Chain A
Amino acid sequence: MSLNPASQPSQAGEFAENARRALQDEGLRDALRHATGLIHERRGAAVERVSEWPELRQRAKELKAATLARLDHWLELFEERAMAAGTQVHWAGDGAEANRIVSAIAARVGARTLVKSKSMTTEETHLNAHLEQEGYRVIETDLGEYIIQLAGEAPSHIIVPAIHKRRQDIGALFQSALNVETTDDPKALTQVARERLREEFARADVGISGANFAVAETGSFLVLENEGNARLTTSLPRVHIAMIGIEKVIPRLSDLEVFLRLLPRSGTGQHLTSYQSIFTGPRSEGREGPEELHVILLDNGRSSMLKDELSRQALACIRCGACLNVCPVYGEIGGHAYASVYPGPIGSVITPMLSQSEEGQDLPFASSLCGACRDVCPVGIDLPALLLRLRSQLKAPGGQSSSRPEARGFRLWSWFMTNQARYRWMAGVLRLGRPMLGNARARSILARLLPPLRAWTTARELRLPAARSFREQWKRGGEQ
C-alpha cells in the first residue's frame, strides 16, 4: 500500500531534495505564506472568542482516548445500528479492498459517472485511479479538489487542496482544461466550476463521500462542508457510498457537540461551516435521497496504531489542518514536498505509521521540533513526542541509522561533553582559536574542510566562541 499520491513530481523518500526544490519556487512560497498566515490568523481570532477552549480540547482528547481504547466495541455497535437503519456496512482491511468494494457497487448498479465530495481517505486508497482504470468517470466536486483534478495533481493541504496555486495559475488551468476565457477573479472561476459541475451532479449515478465522524449509538455519520457539493453528491445520485476510517467513530450523538465547536474554528476560523449533514440510513420509500447507503469502514494500517497510548493519540486527529498552518517547515515548502497524502506535522507522523512498506520514513526528520503543532492541535496530540519516537525507530535517509563519520563525531562530542575537565579543555582550545576564527575567510575554509560544518553552514553562520566563558564572567561578577 502506497500513500504516495499518484502523478506526483515529488519523490517519496526524497524529502530533502523535494524541500530544496520547493524552496527555490518563489511563487509557491508566496502563495503558502499568504494562505497559511491567513488561515492561522482566522483560527486565532475564532479561538480567542472561546474562553473555554482549553477545556474543550481536554474533553475531546479524553473522549477520543476513551473511545479508541474500546474501538472494537464501538465499531460493532456502529455496524449494528447502521444496519438497523438500512445502511449496508462493509469492512476493508486495506485500500485495495476498499476500492474493490466501491467498484463492485458501481458495477452492480450499472454506474457510468461517479461524483465525489472531498475525502482524504479516498485519496489515501487512490480510489480515483482505481475507478478510472475500471472505466468509470470520476468527478471531484469540491472546488479545490476539482482544480487539482484538472491539473492532474495531488492535494497539498488537508483542507485547502489547491493552497499552493495562485489565482493566475487557476485561471490559466481553467482556460486550457475547460476552454473558457482567461480570468483570475476567484468569483468568476468559482462560477465556471459551479456551472460545469452542475451538469455532472445531474447525471451522476453514484455519489462518494468521506465522513468527519461516525456515531456508534445511532449508526450515523456526519459530513461537514461549506460549498454544498457534499449535499449534492449525497442527495442526487441513487447510491451514496461513504468511506470512513475506523478511527472516526465516536460513541454518542451528543459527542458531536465538542467536535463541532473545535473543528470549524481550528480548520478555517468559522464558528460553524455552512452545512452539516447527518446521515442515518437510506431514504424511506417515496422520499428524497439515495435508495442505497453504503459505509466502508477502512483499516489500512490504523489498527496497528492502536498498540500503545502514544500512537493512539495520532488516531485522534480530526483533520483540521491547524498543525500545517502553523508549521514553519510546511509553511515554506508546502504539501507536495512531503510526497504523501497527508503532509505537515500530522502527515509526518501517520504516513510512516500507516504505511506497510517503508514510506515516509524520512518525514519524521522533516521537523525542527518547535512544538507549535502540539500547541494548536484541538485534540491535544503530542506530535513532537511522536516525531521523536519515530526518529529513534526509523532509519535516517541513506538507509543507515546514522552515517559512520556522523556517529563517530557524536561519540567524540559526547566524550568531551560528559566530563567537566575535558569540556573545559575543549572550550579553552576553541577560545585560543578565536583570532583565527575571527577571520571570515578562515571560517569558510574551515567549514569546507569539515563536512558536518559545511552542511551546517549552508544556511547558518559559523559563530565565534565568546572571549570569556560564562563561568569566568560569573566569577568576575558581571559583563566582560
Chain B
Amino acid sequence: MEARRRTVSHRETLLQRVRAALAEQPVELPLPTGATPGSPEEWQLPRDRLASFSEILTQSGGSVHSVRNLSEAVQAFRRLVEELGLERIAISDATELHDFVAAVPDARWTLAQDLLEGSPGREDLFDCQAGLHLAQGGVAETGTLILDSRKELHRLTSLVPPVDIAILWAREIHANLGSALGHFEEHGLPPTLTLVTGPSRTADIELELVVGVHGPAVLHVILITEES
C-alpha cells in the first residue's frame, strides 16, 4: 500500500511539473496530418514493388533470390545449403517450412519451439550456422523485411545464427514505410515487430564499415513471386 502510494505520487509529481511548465506559455498547435512529404507513390504493380525491394535490399548488403513458387524456393534453399556448407540449422515453427526440412534431412535442425525460456535447445542455437524462417511482409521503398512475433517463432532464429535465410512472398511487400505502418495501425501490433534491412553492421571503429557484428553477417531472402 505504501509502495503504491509512493509510485502514484511519482507519477502525479512528474505530470504536475509538466502541466505547470506548459501553463507558462500554453499554445494549441495542430498535429500535422496527411501523407508524409515525398512518400513515394504507391507502386500499382506488384512487380514494381518487387523490383525496388530487391534492388534496395541488395544495395544494403542482402542477397535476393527470386523464385516462382514454394517448391522452387525449396530448391533455392538446397543450393544455399550446399554453397554455404550448412549442417546445423535453426528453424522457426512456420508450417510452410516442412518441405525445407524434408529436403535437407541430414542437417541437424534446431526447432524454435525448443528455444523457449529454460529449454535445453538454447545452447544448440548458438551453435547453429544458419536460421530459416518466413517474413510476414516487406517494404519496397527501403528493401526491408517485416517480422511479426505473433505469427511465427522467429525472433531468435532470425538473430542468433550468423546466416539468416528468410522466405517472403512478393505479394506481401508494402509500397513504403507509411503503408506498412498503416497496416499495423489497423490490425494492431505484436509484442515485437522487427524490421530488417540487410545484415548486421557497425562503423564504431574509425567509421570503417564492418559487416556481421552481433546479428547475422549474411542475409538471404528467397522471394516467391507467385500471385496466390
Chain A interface residues (CB < 8 Å from chain B): 31, 34-35, 38-39, 50-52, 55-56, 58-59, 62-63, 65-67, 69-72, 75-76, 79, 85, 90-93, 97, 141-144, 147, 160-163, 165-167, 170, 186-187, 189-190, 193-194, 197-198, 201-202, 218, 220, 226-229, 231-232, 234-236, 238, 246, 251-254, 256-258, 260-261, 268, 271-284, 286-289, 291, 293, 297, 299, 303-309
Comparing B10-18, B63-71, B73-81, B96-104, the segment that makes contact with chain A is B10-18
Query: Which among B17, B193, B206, B213 is the interface contact of A303 at CB below 8 angstroms?
Result: B17
Tell whether A226 pairs with B201 under 8 Å between CB atoms, given A55-B37, A275-B215: yes
Query: Which among A186, A232, A306 is the interface contact of B205 at CB below 8 angstroms?
Result: A186
Q: Which residues of B contact A52 (CB under 8 A)?
A: 37-38
Q: What's the Cα separation between A202 and B123 when bound, in Å? A: 8
Are A274 and B196 in touch, CB under 8 angstroms?
A: yes
Q: What's the Cα separation between A52 and B190 when bound, in Å? A: 32
Chain B residues 169 to 210 lying within 8 A of chain A, measured CB to CB, are 176-178, 181-182, 184-185, 189-208, 210
Q: Which residues of A contact B192 (CB under 8 A)?
A: 234-235, 277-280, 283, 289
Are B117 and A238 in touch, CB under 8 angstroms?
A: yes
Q: What's the Cα separation between A35 and B38 when bound, in Å? A: 30
**A185 CB to closest chain B CB, in angstroms?**
9
Q: Which residues of A contact B190 (CB under 8 A)?
A: 280
Q: Which residues of B contact A56 (CB under 8 A)?
A: 36-38
B209 (CB) vs chain A CBs: closest residue: A186
Q: Which residues of A contact B60 (CB under 8 A)?
A: 271-272, 274
Instruction: Decide yes or no whether B156 CB sits under 8 A from chain A.
Output: yes
Q: What's the Cα separation between A256 and B36 when bound, in Å? A: 10
Comparing B26-34, B43-51, B220-228, the segment that makes contact with chain A is B26-34
Q: Which residues of A contact B36 (CB under 8 A)?
A: 56, 59, 254, 257-258, 261
Are A228 and B216 in touch, CB under 8 angstroms?
A: yes
Chain B interface residues (CB < 8 Å from chain A): 7, 10-11, 13-15, 17-22, 24-32, 36-39, 56, 60, 112, 115-117, 122-123, 126, 142, 144, 149-150, 153, 155-156, 159-160, 176-178, 181-182, 184-185, 189-208, 210, 212-216
Q: Which residues of A contact B38 (CB under 8 A)?
A: 50-52, 55-56, 261
Are B37 and A59 in touch, CB under 8 angstroms?
A: yes
Q: Which residues of A contact B210 (CB under 8 A)?
A: 186-187, 190
Q: Which residues of B contact A275 (CB under 8 A)?
A: 194-197, 200, 215
Q: What's the Cα separation between A186 and B204 when bound, in Å? A: 9
Q: What's the Cα separation between A282 and B191 when bound, in Å? A: 6
| 17 A–B pairs (Cβ distance < 8 Å), ordered by A | A56-B37, A59-B36, A67-B31, A69-B22, A72-B22, A75-B15, A91-B11, A91-B15, A141-B214, A190-B210, A194-B212, A218-B185, A261-B177, A275-B194, A278-B194, A306-B21, A306-B22
Are A257 and B178 in touch, CB under 8 angstroms?
A: yes
Q: What's the Cα separation between A234 and B27 when bound, in Å? A: 38
Q: Which residues of B contact A252 (CB under 8 A)?
A: 31, 185
Are B197 and A272 in touch, CB under 8 angstroms?
A: yes
Are A273 and B29 in touch, CB under 8 angstroms?
A: no
A39 (CB) vs chain B CBs: closest residue: B207
**A151 CB to closest chain B CB, in angstroms?**
13
Q: What's the Cα separation between A66 and B30 when bound, in Å? A: 6
Given contacts A165-B205, A194-B213, A278-B195, 17 further A-B contacts (CB under 8 A): A31-B206, A52-B38, A56-B38, A69-B22, A75-B15, A92-B10, A218-B189, A228-B215, A235-B159, A252-B185, A254-B36, A257-B36, A272-B60, A299-B14, A299-B17, A303-B18, A304-B17
Are A277 and B193 in touch, CB under 8 angstroms?
A: yes
**B62 CB to closest chain A CB, in angstroms?**
10
Q: Which residues of A contact B11 (CB under 8 A)?
A: 79, 91
What 3 A-B pairs are tightest by C-beta distance, nearest first? A228-B215, A52-B38, A55-B37
Are A91 and B213 in touch, CB under 8 angstroms?
A: no
Tell whether A307 pairs with B21 under 8 Å between CB atoms, given A246-B14, A257-B36: yes
Query: Which among A58, A142, A194, A288 is the interface contact of B156 at CB below 8 angstroms?
Result: A288
Q: What's the Cα separation between A166 and B207 when bound, in Å? A: 10
Q: Which residues of B contact A276 (CB under 8 A)?
A: 194-195
Are B18 and A256 in touch, CB under 8 angstroms?
A: no
Q: Which residues of A contact B7 (CB under 8 A)?
A: 90-91
Q: What's the Cα separation between A197 and B215 when bound, in Å? A: 12
